[in-house]
Amino acid sequence: MNTAVALLIFNRPDKTERVLESIRQVKPPKLFVVADGPRPDHPDDVHKCAASRSVIEQVDWDCEVIKNYSDVNMGCGLRISTGLDWVFDQEEMVIILEDDCIPQPTFFGFCEELLERYEDDERIMMICGYNPLTEWKSHQQSYHFSYISVCWGWASWRRAWKYYDFHMELWLEPEVKNRIRDVIGGQRNYLLVERIFDTVHAGKIDTWAFRWFFTRLSQSGLVVTSSTNLVENVGFGEDATHWKKKNADPKRLAQAMSFPLRHPLVVAPDRDYDNMRYKQWRGTLVDRSIKNGKRFLRGIKNSVFSSFSKYGQKAF
């Protein structure tokens, strides 16, 4: 494999070790590691963060390891945002994993091939290996295009990340809201997303994933989504940042991707897939918490756009 990998870690050494073992199987030539610092009100973080970072010293293949470790806790939103800014300053294209996203080995080849195929296609902003529906038209093609995704095992290009808008300043522009409404297609779905973006813009959620979702929608950016699920999320439980309950999200095992890839005939969003995701989402705690006026995404990961998924920062 020739593509660089970025690994985002915090305070879970056991999970960091598992994802590093997955990365070891493909031996990327370059590994970027972004780590947040210990939280001042969590004494155990000092040891756990140090232990997580020590796992990175286990890299035993020919690999350039480039580290960006914070001494203080920045929070998942700012830490991952600045960390990915740093990564994309150095690389044109990157495969990105968090410490609780365990990819099936074929995930890497899937991302690498499509990063190269769509490198210059401005319509496409992201490649996603996590499919919360587990399977979608896999008998027809290896992937489809959508506007919704979960950031649990993904890849992108500098040309796409350059639009990332942490402060979501464009959200106040009527023209941008109208564009997003057109992209989403459907008033009911738009109102759901509008409530989320209002909450994020107001600073009530420490998230980077919804901001990335906003960035893509504001640019009408498509996501390449695998037809089968290529990544297992193991980040649920007491040590999670947002998903404290082990059963917060159904367990979706990773499956192997078959090669050669079967490419869609046209580059166009699969509206049926997106509508299924919105339908799936509406019945979750995310939507209910908004309706009840409770703190948005309290008790669940602020980055997961769904029944769809996890790390409060990873959601779409």
Give the pair of three-digit tokens for residue 279.
């339908």
Q: Is residue 299 part of a domain?
A: no
Q: Is residue 316 part of a domain?
A: no
Give the domain range for residue 214. Answer: 4-291
pTM, to two decimals:
0.87
Q: Is residue 278 part of a domain?
A: yes
Given a contact cutoff of 8 angstroms between Cβ atoms, the answer to whether 45 and 75 are in contact is no
Q: Is residue 143 part of a domain?
A: yes
Give the pair of three-digit tokens for residue 176.
């941008």
d(CA 56, CA 183): 40
Q: Is residue 56 part of a domain?
A: yes
Partnered with residue 222 across adjacent β-strands are 124
d(CA 248, CA 239): 13
pLDDT in tens, the chain (316 residues): 999 999 999 999 999 999 999 999 999 999 999 999 999 999 999 999 999 999 999 999 999 999 999 999 999 999 999 999 999 999 999 999 999 999 999 999 999 999 999 999 999 999 999 999 989 999 999 999 999 999 999 999 999 999 999 999 999 999 999 999 999 988 999 999 999 999 999 999 999 999 999 999 999 999 999 999 999 999 754 544 444 444 445 567 999 999 999 999 999 999 999 999 998 887 664 545 555 544 444 443 443 443 333 333 444 4
Query: What's the pLDDT tens digit per position in 124-138?
Result: 999 999 999 989 999
Q: Is residue 226 part of a domain?
A: yes
**Total domains in the fold of the chain:** 1
Amino acid 20 reads: L
Which of 206, 200, 188, 177 is closest to 79 using CA atoms?
206
Query: What's the pLDDT tens digit per position in 80-123?
Result: 999 999 999 999 999 999 999 999 999 999 999 999 999 999 99
d(CA 258, CA 239): 34
Q: The tokens 């005939």 sit on which residue?
A: 265
Q: What is the CATH number of the domain that holds 228?
A: 3.90.550.10
Amino acid 258 reads: S
Q: Is residue 313 part of a domain?
A: no
Q: Is residue 119 part of a domain?
A: yes
DSSP string, 267-280: --B-HHHHHHHHHH
Q: The tokens 């193991």 sit on which residue?
A: 234
